[in-house]
Structure 1
Amino acid sequence: MTEAALATHRAFYDAVETGDVDLMASLWVDDPETSCVHPGAVPLRGTQAVLRSWTVLMANVGYIQFFLTEREVTALPPNDDDPSVVVITCTENILSGGEATGAETFSGAKAVCTSILVRDGAGWKFWSRHASPVAEIGNLDSEG
Structure 2
Amino acid sequence: MSAPTSTYPSPDDAEQAFYDAFAHSDLEAMMSVWSEDEETVCVHPGGSRFTGLAAIRESWKQLFETGMKFQVRTSSVVKTHSALVAVHSLLQHVSVEGDDTMTPPLITTNVYTRGPRGWQLLVHHTSPAPDTSGLMMQESPRTVH
Count of residue correspondences: 130
Q: Deviations over 1:4-53 (max 9, x none)?
A: 21111011010011111111111111232110111111211101101110
**Matches of residues 1-144 of structure 1 in structure 2 within 5 Å?**
4-76=10-82, 83-97=83-97, 105-109=99-103, 110-142=105-137
Look up the SS of the partner of 1:107 in the other structure: coil
User: Matched residues, percent identical?
Assistant: 26
CA separation of 1:113 and 1:61: change in aligned 2, threshold 3 A = farther
How far the C-alpha of 1:136 sits from its partner, in A, is 3.4
Aligned to 1:80: none
Deviations 1:37-83 (A, max 9, x none): 1111121110110111011112214221111110011013xxxxxx1
Q: Which aligned segments of 4 or more residues in structure 1 are displaced greater than 4 angstroms?
A: none
User: Normalization by structure 1: what TM-score?
Assistant: 0.81
Looking at secondary structure, tell me which structure has more strand per residue: 1
The answer to whether the Cα contact below 8 Å between 1:96 and 1:108 also exists between their aligned partners in 2 is no
Structure 2 gaps of 5+ residues are 1-8, 139-145
TM-score, normalised via structure 2 length: 0.81
Kept in 1, the 8 Å contact 2:14–2:120? The answer is: yes
Larger Rg: 2
Cα RMSD, aligned residues only: 2.0
Hey, what's the Cα distance between the residues in 2 that align with 1:31 and 1:137? 37
- Cα gap change, 1:46 to 1:69, in 2 (>3 Å): same
| Conservation of the 8 A alpha-carbon contact between 2:25 and 2:69 | no
